[in-house]
Amino acid sequence: MNSKSKYPFLRHIDFLAVDLIALFVSFTSAFAVKFGGSWLSDSAVWSSSSWARLVLLFTFADIILTFILNPYSGIFKRKYYMEMVQALRLTLFNAISVSLVLYIFKIGEDYSRTVFILTYVFYFAVSLLLKYIWKKLITSGIVKAGYSKSISLFIIASKNDAASVLANVTAGDFDPYDVKGMYLIDSDESEFDGIKLVGKDFADYVVQNNISDVFIAAAPSGIRQEDYRKLIDNAVNIHIWIEPVVGTQTEYQFVSDIGISKALSITSFSFRPGQLLYLAVKRILDFVFGLTGVILLIPITLIVKIAYLISGDTARIFYTQKRLGKNGKEIRILKYRTMVKNADKMLEELLKDEDNLKEWKANQKLKNDPRITKVGRVLRKTSLDELPQAVDLLKGDMSLVGPRPLVEGELEEHEGLKLYQRVKPGITGWWACNGRSNIEYRERLELEYYYIRNFSAYLDLLCVFRTVLAVLKKDGAE
């Protein structure tokens, strides 16, 4: 089932149903192991509704976390080990969330710890098995779930190989590829089998049409170096068909499937050993920090509101900004308001002054900005204006460490380099801990790109440590 929706997880609502079935089966099995019977058949248990409430809590947590984590994104094209990582992530977040609810409301002692632990141990295994079976039913054609082609693909091949390459790409268990164009290296024709043919400027065509993947089924040396660079800098996934290069098909860890063809895949950055574990741990820490931040948000919001009221400002203390997140997705980030209510109109007037306009173009900000309120200056100096972004951490739209989120249209300042959007934006980052507001805009971009190309657990820890020091020293905060 692939209903188009603004909520990504609804595109795979059938997999959510499969996971809920797995959760129910797992709980029933755990109960049977502990008590030797079914919770449904125990009239005393059923009449008290205590176990029924726990089942509802399990179900509610799973649905909410599915909305937040979107664990089914790319479910048909990812490898089995990645499926295990996603299943483990969802299981851990479920267990942590339900544990927190039981602890906060002090009802954990009403339930068996054995049942709780076994439920999620079984859930991890059963959900993996059921999703595997469901995918096989869909890919074999036994179940018609209505999934559409979701990956835009551009093909580079010779004229003689074009037909077989196209057949291979659209073969296999599941065909997710929407072929948007081809470059035949030895042909000047404009169309092949109803598909648009592009010339040597194919890289421009790929970037301009937001094509996500390129499959090179010809000698890689025949592609210009500048074309490779343009594709990589614009975050296009490049797949090089192995057979023309080494003379045979092969199987190993870093080989991907393009239809039934084996290909080496090149992205704008490659995963290093342990990177999958790092990304999973990073998301867990983002969730923990987000939850902690939301708890702190309640008393601090009250203090900020009182401070604004004392200063005579009765306007709303929160405001949202439209920004671009990972893969260009539009997100809304939440902040404490630090400027006067009519800040945009004031900026228009301020930029009529040539000196202000020059400063704004260079730094995207004004050094002594009269729009910032007294309370706002305190919030910025202490970086407390960023605290409401804890909500964005919980939602998964942002990470604790990452590049600054972009304003729509700002990508033009990056000369269209979509590499910036390959990772989630962060509350702090390599720029934020290396001068913050004291460096020019172009220099900030270089620092952001350094992080994107070299991100690691070490760099994240260094960012957090330096940011804390910068906040304590009030270094560069405006």
- Looking at the structure of the chain, the number of domains it has is 3
Residue 278, pLDDT > 50, answer yes
Residues 314 and 245 in one domain: no
Provide the pLDDT for residue 44: 46
CATH of the domain at 261: 3.40.50.720
Residue that finishes a domain, picked among 266, 299, 326: 266
Is 348 within the bounds of a domain?
A: no
- The 3-class SS string of the chain reads CCCCCCCHHHHHHHHHHHHHHHHHHHHHHHHHHHHCCCCCCCHHHHHHCHHHHHHHHHHHHHHHHHHHHCCCCCCCCCCHHHHHHHHHHHHHHHHHHHHHHHHHCCCHHHCCHHHHHHHHHHHHHHHHHHHHHHHHHHHCCCCCCCCCCCEEEEEEECCCCHHHHHHHHCCCCCCCEEEEEEEECCCCCCEECCEEECCCCHHHHHHHCCCCEEEECCCHHHCCHHHHHHHHHCCCEEEEECHHHHCCCCCCCCEEEECCEEEEEECCCCCCCCHHHHHHHHHHHHHHHHHHHHHHHHHHHHHHHHHHHHCCCCCCCEEEEEEECHHHCEEEEEEECCECCCHHHHHHHHCCCHHHHHHHHHHCCCCCCCCECHHHHHHHHHCHHHHHHHHHHHHCCCEEECCCCECCCHHHHHCCCHHHHHCCCEEECCCCCCCHHHCCHHHHHHHHHHHHHHCCHHHHHHHHHHHHHHHHHCCCCC
Task: Rank 31-35, 153-157, 276-280 by mean pLDDT and report only the highest.
Answer: 153-157
Same domain, 86 and 122: yes
Burial of 206 (0-12, 13-18, 19+ CB in 10 A): buried
Q: Are residues 211 and 108 in the same domain?
A: no
133 lies in the same domain as 157: no
For residues 155 and 240, membership in a common domain is answered with: yes
In this structure, are 325 and 398 located in the same domain?
A: yes
Confidence of residue 255 (pLDDT cuts 50, 70, 90): low
At which of 139, 170, 200 does a domain end?
A: 139
Q: 94-105, pLDDT tens digit by residue?
A: 999 999 988 888
Same domain for 241 and 101: no
Q: Is residue 350 part of a domain?
A: no
Q: Does residue 46 carry a pLDDT above 60? A: no
Look at residue 302 and tell me if it is in a domain.
yes
124 and 258 in a common domain: no
Q: Are residues 258 and 181 in the same domain?
A: yes
pLDDT mean across residues, the chain:
79
Residue 268, pLDDT score: 47
Q: Global pTM?
A: 0.52
Indicate whether 237 and 282 sit together in one domain: no
Residue 435 confidence class, pLDDT cut points 50, 70, 90? low
pLDDT number for residue 76? 72
Confidence category of residue 471, pLDDT binned at 50, 70, 90: confident
Comparing 1-5, 97-101, 201-205, 415-419, the range with the smallest average pLDDT is 1-5
Does residue 40 register a pLDDT over 60? Answer: no
**Average pLDDT, stretch 303-307?**
91
- 224: domain range? 151-266
Q: Which of 87, 106, 139 is the last residue of a domain?
A: 139
478 falls within a domain: no
On whether both 110 and 166 belong to a single domain, the answer is no
Indicate whether 155 belongs to any domain: yes
- Identify which of 108, 219, 68, 237 has the alpha carbon closest to the alpha carbon of residue 156: 219
Q: Is 97 within a domain?
A: yes
The verdict on residue 457 lying in a domain is yes
Q: pLDDT (tens digit, 9 = 90+) per residue, 370-390? A: 888 899 888 888 888 889 999
Residue 43 domain flag: yes
Do both 257 and 306 map to the same domain? no
Give 247's pLDDT tier (boundaries 50, 70, 90). Answer: very low
